[in-house]
Structure 1
């Protein structure tokens, strides 16, 4: 039995199937951790959702910002953007089943001292706090009131989570931290503009994994394709999983037991 963590699929279904074949993945014995953003930008988001859902309990999935965007569009809280490739999901005959399944995925999974969320865990949060915050948003997503939440999910304020926050501001701060975080300052404020490599860090900001923690968990995350699967100068045990398949890079699986990586190149790069 092996457990693999895989970064952002973003509709790269052919590469996902090829990677599973390379791993000789057997859902009866092996397990997958998927770091979110199953959909959008790539050519086969519908196929990715169906493939992952069919894996059942063999796959642990966390929600990414693109997954939440799909849900917001489907539930009437947002509109499609020009570059979105989500229409085939919204128009599919099994759309309701897929969306209902996606909406009850967690924002964070944990096994012992190993945690995975889409964008990472800020150093200001303990593991217990991260779990509590994730469960709070998950409860909202599972409730009948979640449709209203999607209408207010978007926004860059507040820029950091504070324990005393309430209402929509609190939930938005949690979502932004777990699904959009890249650069932060020493107090945990998020920058939402810089999305490329480390060289574009704003003054006073650094990648979240370059700040020390008081504990030593293993933190798995996707979201940041420009890192190309690396975490330079990291001061925590952070492992980047997104290697930019949808942008012509590769799709990568990390064996959580052996720490070895197996990748397949983007089909776009082969054309």
Structure 2
């Protein structure tokens, strides 16, 4: 009984603590980067897989990445903007949504955070079992590495930063996984129509950016969506509801439900007899 109560308490949304969340996010991202970059690059396998993906997309009639890459690259201000978008918004928007959830939707924060963390964790498995070179690194692919070409600071996988990141971990795309998590969260919880519109457009714009900058195939985006599906399923299995279905705020401390379950049932009040006063006869 006590174990069941403890498990029920753990699976109940609780008020997030700022210091713990900052530490958790920092340590989690450090571990994610460490594991991702520790995965063997497997260059030969990654290039072979890239050729296979490119051939598969051709057979489907959907190999449009090179056309988009060349078209956008011809407009300098646009491709440079996309380089900076790729490098910054991936982190800025995700952290911004986490902060917004923490402040405005504390009852839903933990479930949404679990979905994001599970999404990211399963992506590591993809990097290990299916190393994949991005289009810009394909042999004879004809793609432009837009960061190198325009000498902009844009990607941890290009320029002076290329030795700090695994070059062959393109599948799945966490730019899509994270941006779709942000977009769905905003669409589900934001009250302002303009915010919901921006939330819906954000993953679409991210898809255009990752293709235009030749950092991903569109099939990498499908992999990111699959990872997010897994992450949301894990959150649902743990909390018993989708994040937006949980209460917006938590009343009382996080363990109030456990204390309520342990509290003995309230006894019914005993009848009160009337005191015998002057001139009355007691029964």
TM-score (norm 2): 0.23
* More relative contact order, 1 or 2 (CA 8 Å, 6+ apart): 2
TM-score (norm 1): 0.23
Q: Which structure features the higher share of helix residues?
A: 2
Q: Which structure features the higher share of strand residues?
A: 1
Structure whose CA Rg is larger: 2
